[in-house]
Structure 1
Amino acid sequence: MKRSEINALIADAKEFYESFLFKLPPWAFWGPDDWKGTGDSEVVRNQLGWDLTDYGAGDFEKRGLILFTIRNGNLAAGDKKQYAEKIMIVRENQICPMHFHWSKTEDIINRGGGNLVIELYGSTPDEELGKEPITVIVDGFARTVEPGGTVVLTPGESIFLEQGMYHRFYGEPGKGKVLVGEVSSVNDDNTDNRFHKEQARFPDIEEDEAPLHLLCTDYPKYI
């Protein structure tokens, strides 16, 4: 992805969050120079902040995700914090690819905007798509979903996803962008994503202009 595209998407995301009066922490708006001397912070150590990916597909509108990690622990570093929170934006028909987590459990929450469509499978011992129905918890109530079936979350609704539960999601066509929250156990995107079809989690970046704000993957380069 070009840095100019990333900058434009972050600028758009800030406006979208503000339209819902969802407030980001002050350091969300820092420029690259503001980060000097912060390398020992929880923010840098645990990869908080802006995160954007096209999953290596080169077509963000069709396969991509922009998110902001607000809080996260780091079990390897002995952190007492054992939870994480993210706020995401999912566009109509923009796919977050099929994957599960070995360790993380999570609530995915529709915080507003359009509808979020979540496609679900269980997984087999060899990590293929399961062929049996699965039971998921939607706002505290159990629901049985056939393999490849979907749950549509309208604003205010949420779903609990267990370890090993394959899922992909996208915004329902014609309903607009979705403000999506995630509350989970500690998140490690470097080691805990099992994509059904192998793909990159973070983008390769062509530096055609300076960063507006740093991505969490930019910290080693700029700090």
Structure 2
Amino acid sequence: MKRSVINNYLKEAEEIFSKNGYLLPPWASWKPEVWKKNAGKCKNLFDSCLGWDLTDFGSEDFLNRGLLLVTVRNGNETDDEKPYAEKIMLIKENQETPFHFHWSKTEDIINRGGGNLVLELYNSTEDEKFSNETVSFLTDGIAKSVEPGGRVVLTPGESITLKTGVYHRFYAEEGKGPVVAGEVSMTNDDAADNRFYDNCGRFPAVEEDESPYRLLVGDYDSFIKE
């Protein structure tokens, strides 16, 4: 993916987050030179993988299979006193985050504003296949269930609690606009706690056709720690 394209997506996300009343931490607007100046103070930030993130899940088709997010708080393996995490995500109409579950993380996914967020759910079997059992879950503390592969539609303000082992994919409903979605969860480890049903890539290859507007988490090693 060209850096210029990534930059445009990040600018769009900043505008949409702001319009929906979600304000990002100061470091979310740092330029690369500011990151370098402050790098010595940011060990916890780097260890916790806080920052902008964008993935096409290896599809090379970001608008149909992709996700843009900011991890704004997170614990890590050396920080036992912070067992929680928070993300803010921008999800476009019919832009899929593919089926996956987490071995360790229970999470709430929240529709913070915009359109409707659609989730499709399966329980997982012991060998990590789709189960044919009914899926039980909570929406804002209320017990609900769907048949395997069933849809749950979250309107702005609604949330769902997903326990470990529940396969889920999600996207913004067509015709309703993009969704600003939050995630509040146990400590997040994208490198070790995502079980995708199909093999998926994580960080897209970046063609550096212009300077970064904002650094992604995957940029830290090359732009700050070099």
Fold match by TM threshold 0.5: yes
SS across alignment from 1:38: helix
Greater Cα shift, 107-116 or 29-38: 29-38
Give me the CA root mean square deviation: 1.0
SS across alignment from 1:60: coil
Match of 2:197 in 1: 196
Are 1:3 and 2:3 an aligned pair? yes
Match of 1:61 in 2: 63
Match of 1:100 in 2: 101
1:128-207 equivalences in 2 (<5 Å): 128-207=129-208
Normalised to the residue count of structure 1, the TM-score between the two structures is 0.97
Match of 2:90 in 1: 89
Match of 1:35 in 2: 35
CA positional deviation for 1:45:
1.5
Distance 2:62 2:143 in 1: 34
Query: Unmatched 5+ residue regions in structure 1?
Result: none
Distance 1:184 1:144 in 2: 21
Match of 1:123 in 2: 124
SS across alignment from 2:87: strand
Match of 2:78 in 1: 77
SS across alignment from 1:136: strand
Task: Give CA-to-partner distance per residue, 1:147-177, whole Å, 9 cap, x none.
Answer: 0001000000000000000000000000000
Match of 1:26 in 2: 26
Are 1:13 and 2:13 an aligned pair? yes
SS across alignment from 1:77: coil
CA positional deviation for 1:41:
2.5
Normalised to the residue count of structure 2, the TM-score between the two structures is 0.96
4+ residue stretches of structure 1 with deviation over 4 A? none
Identity of aligned residues (%): 58
Q: Is the 8 A contact 1:3 1:207 kept in 2?
A: yes
SS across alignment from 1:67: strand
CA positional deviation for 1:2:
1.2
Query: Unmatched 5+ residue regions in structure 2?
Result: none
CA positional deviation for 1:79:
3.8
Distance 1:201 1:159 in 2: 24
Match of 2:113 in 1: 112
Distance 1:115 1:20 in 2: 14
